[in-house]
Amino acid sequence: MDWDRIAADLDGFGCAATGPLLDGAACAALRALYAEEAPFRSRIVMARHGFGRGEYKYYAYPLPGPVAALRAPLYARLAPLANRWNDQMGIGVRYPAEHAAFLARCHAAGQARPTPLLLRYGPGDYNCLHQDLYGEHVFPLQVAILLSEPGRAFTGGEFVLTEQRPRMQSRAEVVPLGQGEGVIFAVRHRPVQGARGPYRVTLRHGVSRVRSGERYTTGIIFHDAA
């Protein structure tokens, strides 16, 4: 992974494509899990909560191998950037270098439920703009990995990130992904350099309407839920 380019994109746009993270076999294995119950702690039907259309399931611990193998090393790469962002935004929270130490902080505060998830969309489904917070302790970056092949398995269903800037109109980013590729993006805020120094902007993410087929995504969130 080109971490210099990823850091520059995150600083400039609030999101960055990763390139390939999972091969076709790993993507297929995760998609196949959706039909099972044992790997998950809960299932959410979006329409029941006004979240959009489609559904998702939160993994239970232990996480599936491909997800567990990515979560800690991605966190370790992103923690220095997260600390720099907080410093620029005047936020006092700092993140430890190792993900296990950050999870221990979450669990000590009552945030002990795993948050990585598997999402399934069919024709007409979409995900409203939102933020994945889950409690007091929030790591400011997360990752979504596309598990289906665009153009063959589904059409539509683009990842969308919006940025609300003070006293300005909102800005949108659309990130095209291939199967097995991920996007790293800001969970809630990021710093933007202004004429008088850095200021804070608010971000939300979602998925546009799927026009045909089925779209599967796995999400890697680094903080756990209360």
Averaged pLDDT of the chain: 96
Percent of the chain with pLDDT over 70: 100
- pLDDT of residue 84 exceeding 90, the answer is yes
- pLDDT of residue 91 exceeding 90, the answer is yes
pLDDT at res. 168: 81
Whose structure tokens read 């202004």?
194
Residue 45: band (very low, low, confident or very high) from pLDDT cuts 50, 70, 90: very high
Q: Are 5 and 16 in contact (CB under 8 A)?
A: yes
Q: Measuring CA to CA, which residue among 3, 11, 63 is closest to residue 33?
A: 63
Buried/exposed 59-70: b ≥16 CB within 10 Å, e otherwise: bbeebbebbeeb
* Three-state helix/strand/coil letters over 126-146: EEEEECCCCCCCCCCEEEEEE
- pLDDT of residue 197 exceeding 90, the answer is no
Q: Are 125 and 52 in contact (CB under 8 A)?
A: yes
Percent of the chain with pLDDT over 90: 94
pLDDT, tens digit (0-9, with 9 covering 90-100), for 99-110:
999 999 999 999
Residue 193: band (very low, low, confident or very high) from pLDDT cuts 50, 70, 90: confident
Residue 146: band (very low, low, confident or very high) from pLDDT cuts 50, 70, 90: very high
Sequence-distant (≥ 6) Cβ neighbours of residue 34 within 8 angstroms: 57, 118, 120, 216
